[in-house]
A = this chain, B = another copy of it.
Amino acid sequence: MLKYQQIAIEIESYIEKHQMQQGEKLPVLESLMKEFKTSKSTIVKALDLLEKKGIIFQVRGSGIFVRRKKRNNYINLLSNQGFQKDLDQFNITSEMLELEIQKPTETVAQNLHVDMDQDIYYVKRIRYIEGNTLCLEESFFNKAIVPYLNNEIGTSSIFRYIEDALSLKIGFSDMYMHVGKLIDQEASYLQLKGGDPKLTMESIFYLTNGTPFDYSKVTYNYNQAQFYILGTGI
């Protein structure tokens, strides 16, 4: 664990433990430097990390203040802000519908940057949140990167498997979202009606070295599709 990450975690825990409210002031840089026995830059880097996560905001000439979101029951759209902790606060389970090795369609081949004759893992799941249908998810994994998947991995967390068991490092993602109407087949999976609203999210996930390994298309139940984003900078 790097020093600045460790410091960030400790400051965040401190805020949590003391139930600090929006606008409450944290100790000044000078104090933090002494407390953590480190240089100014390292503290600044830790604080920048917390600012990016939406935990604090810094005001030049004034101080460092706590920032807190106000609503629960909303899911964080940028999981990097919450280090996956956010989804853990909900009880999310998966039901596997299909899991097989396929050749990619043209769209999939393009998004995963593979040839049409390479193998792809196709995973189709329904995900539940607190027992309600959250979304229908179709994912395509580049088999050259994720050589093996099974039912057990699919019903728990594929990403955790990729990071822990395959020790690959996930880097960044492109996400595209739009709103539309459910077709009958989608509706039946989500226990809704054809023509009901849907939120579709297409994502491409990359390893830290820039290789795309997962293209996924997720159709959300509009009753559960509640997201928040803590924006930094306008």
Which residues from chain A sit less than 8 Å from chain B, CB to CB? 22-23, 41, 52, 54, 57, 59, 62, 65, 67, 69-71, 74, 77-80, 84, 159, 170-181, 196-199, 205-206, 208-210, 220, 222, 225-234
Pull 8 A–B residue pairs with CB atoms less than 8 Å apart, ordered by A.
Answer: A57-B208, A74-B178, A80-B233, A80-B234, A171-B234, A176-B228, A177-B229, A181-B222
Integer count of this chain's copies in the complex: 2
A178-B226 contact, Cβ under 8 Å, with A65-B210, A171-B57, A197-B197: yes
A178-B227 contact, Cβ under 8 Å, with A57-B171, A198-B197, A199-B199: yes
Asked if A225 contacts B59 (CB within 8 A), the reply is no
A173-B234 contact, Cβ under 8 Å, with A59-B209, A179-B199, A225-B178: yes
**What distance in Å separates the Cβ of A2 from its nearest Cβ neighbour in chain B?**
13
How far apart are the CA atoms of A213 and B68 in the complex, in Å? 17
Max chain B Cβ within 10 angstroms of own Cβ: one of A79, A172, A226, A232: A172
How far apart are the CA atoms of A225 and B200 in the complex, in Å? 11
Asked if A208 contacts B173 (CB within 8 A), the reply is no
Asked if A175 contacts B228 (CB within 8 A), the reply is yes
A234-B177 contact, Cβ under 8 Å, with A52-B52, A62-B209, A229-B77: no
A179-B159 contact, Cβ under 8 Å, with A80-B231, A170-B234, A172-B231: no
Max chain B Cβ within 10 angstroms of own Cβ: one of A172, A222, A233: A233
Residues of the B chain whose Cβ atoms lie less than 8 Å from the Cβ of A225: 178-179
Q: Apart from A172-B231, A178-B227, what 6 extra A-B contacts exist at CB < 8 Å?
A: A23-B210, A57-B206, A77-B177, A173-B234, A175-B228, A179-B198
**What distance in Å separates the Cβ of A25 from its nearest Cβ neighbour in chain B?**
10
Residues of the B chain whose Cβ atoms lie less than 8 Å from the Cβ of A228: 174-177
